[in-house]
Amino acid sequence: MSPPPYLFIVIFLGVALVFPIFPLILAWMWRRFFQPPKPGAEKNATYECGVESLGEAQIQFRSQYYLYAIIFLIFDVEAVFLVPFAVAFTGLPIGAFVAILVFLLLLLEGLVWAWSKGCLDWAR
């Protein structure tokens, strides 16, 4: 006589309900009978590493910051790719050479564009 196949799911469901609810009830009873709640302005304030939080958390960033992303790509990411390219230069097939050249050309275009926008001027 085997038990009904869905009995286990019912048991799991029961355990899944009791397991979290029992400690919550216990904690509620503990608060009710022993430990008085002590809320306060400081205690309920937003945690910001001990500093008083200023303003809203949901703010918008200016889209002008994409220039930094482009310049970061040109001067940082490109260098990361250039070093292994230079090291493996003599053993490269022509296809890989052309691929990296296309990559360089794309970034060079970005550099020319950023330069013409005046992003590289010191006075900005």
Q: Looking at beta carbons only, is 43 or 62 nearer to other proteins?
A: 43
CB of 46 or CB of 64, closer to other proteins: 46
Measured from the CB of residue 123, what is the shortest distance to other proteins in angstroms?
35
Shortest distance, position 21 Cβ to other proteins, whole Å: 20
User: To the nearest whole angstrom, how small is the minimum distance from the Cβ of residue 37 to other proteins?
Assistant: 9
Largest Cα span, the chain: 87
Closest CB to other proteins among residues 1, 41: 41
Taking 3-state DSSP, the helix, strand and coil percentages for the chain, each rounded to the nearest 5, stand at 65, 0, 35
Tell me the C-alpha distance between 12 and 15, whole Å.
Answer: 5
Contacting residues toward other proteins, per CB under 8 A: 34-36, 38, 40-43, 45, 47, 49-52
Residue 49 vs 79, nearer CB to other proteins: 49
Q: Do 70 and 110 meet the contact criterion of CB atoms below 8 Å apart?
A: yes
> Measured from the CB of residue 15, what is the shortest distance to other proteins in angstroms?
23
Place of tokens 């992303």: 69
Rounded Cα distance, 66 and 78, in Å: 17
CA angle (20, 48, 46) in 5-degree steps? 55
